[in-house]
Amino acid sequence: MSSPTPDALLGPADVRELAAALGVRPTKQRGQNFVIDANTVRRIVRTAEVRPDDVVVEVGPGLGSLTLALLEAADRVTAVEIDDVLAGALPATVAARMPERAERFALVHSDAMHVGELPGPAPTALVANLPYNVAVPVLLHMLETFPTIERTLVMVQAEVADRLAAGPGSKVYGVPSVKANWYAEVKRAGSIGRNVFWPAPNVDSGLVSLVRRSEPLKTTASRREVFAVVDAAFAQRRKTLRAALAGWAGSAAAAEAALVAAGVSPQARGEALTVEEFARIAEHKE
């Protein structure tokens, strides 16, 4: 593997120049904040533990700051971009700045929420600066759709990072925490300041690491059935599970029966339960 040129990564001037040439103005609607700091993208790649044999999928590559850093480290990179202009420009940016790696790059011009397959070998890692407004649904969709993804590192709004990595009993533990934990061991992996983005967002960002469970959760309930319990439990998080799950079970009495059979107190609240306990409740729906 020949090493890329030292100035292959994008700096602040490069990002603004590319954006100006393309007539791109980052939009709030798509949660676009472009990373303009080469040290930050290299840190993300290091934290993601990207290996030379990895096939990495990146969601929302934007102008290509992180894409280029991933290409330095991985075997292949496939980027999924919804924006017409950005998707059209990225292959040319890769070819111009890293010609020796260009054949190892693929672009999928699509909404990540609707991607069902990717070109080339199956992805082994997901590394992305996810748009703030769709971060959780995109992350969960990718983990469900591509079971070969073993390691994930996403940069998201700090508040979302806290939610994803929260454990039972935490005030911010909720639907994203439980659903992410269905797939993976989840932990906070660092913080990112506002000044490495253009435009600078008015919130801090955080890194979240997800390492897929080596064995799927042991349960006879399907993912869909377990997630239905999770959604019901947190839809009215102030209520006891007996009350919150009444609609899901058909009645409060049926909810109580399922909870008792699962070994969970009907007076407990969703924020106290592990994903394993939610799975047990799902197993006992009459």
The 10 Å CB-count burial string (b at 16+, else e) for 37-71 is bbebbebbbeebebeeebbbbbbbbbbbbbbbbbb
pLDDT of residue 237: 84
Rounded to whole angstroms, the Cα distance separating 24 from 142 reads: 27
The span from the CA of 45 to the CA of 50, in Å, is 6
Residue 60 in marked binding region: yes
pLDDT tens sequence across 190-226: 999 999 998 888 899 999 999 999 999 999 999 999 9
Cite the beta strand spans of 71-124 per DSSP E: 76-81, 105-109
pLDDT value at residue 1:
44
The one-letter amino acid code at 154 reads V
What does the mean pLDDT of the chain come to? 94
Among residues 36, 74, 130, 234, which one has the least CA distance to residue 245? 234
Domains of the chain listed by start with CATH number: 12-212 (3.40.50.150), 223-284 (1.10.8.100)
Closest CA to 106 of 171, 63, 57: 57
- The answer to whether the CB of 118 falls within 8 A of the CB of 142 is no
| pLDDT score at 3 | 46
Residue 156's nearest CA partner among 182, 176, 181, 175 is 176
End-to-end CA distance of the chain: 58
Structure-token pair, residue 128: 């992305």
Per-residue pLDDT at 5 exceeds 70: no
**pTM to 2 decimals?**
0.93
64 is in an annotated binding site: no
Secondary structure element (H or E) that encloses residue 156, with its range: strand 151-157
CB atoms within 10 A of CB 267: 11
* Tokens matching residue 56: 């990495």
pLDDT tens, 229-255? Answer: 999 999 988 999 999 999 999 999 999
Backbone angles phi, psi at 151, to 5 degrees: -125, 140
Mean pLDDT of 51-70: 97
pLDDT, tens only, 139-169:
999 999 999 999 999 999 999 999 999 999 9
How many CA within 13 A on the CB side of residue 43? 15
Whether 81 has a binding-site annotation, put simply, is: yes
Helix count and strand count (H, E) for the chain: 12, 9
Closest CA to 66 of 31, 29, 93, 30: 93
148 DSSP assignment: T
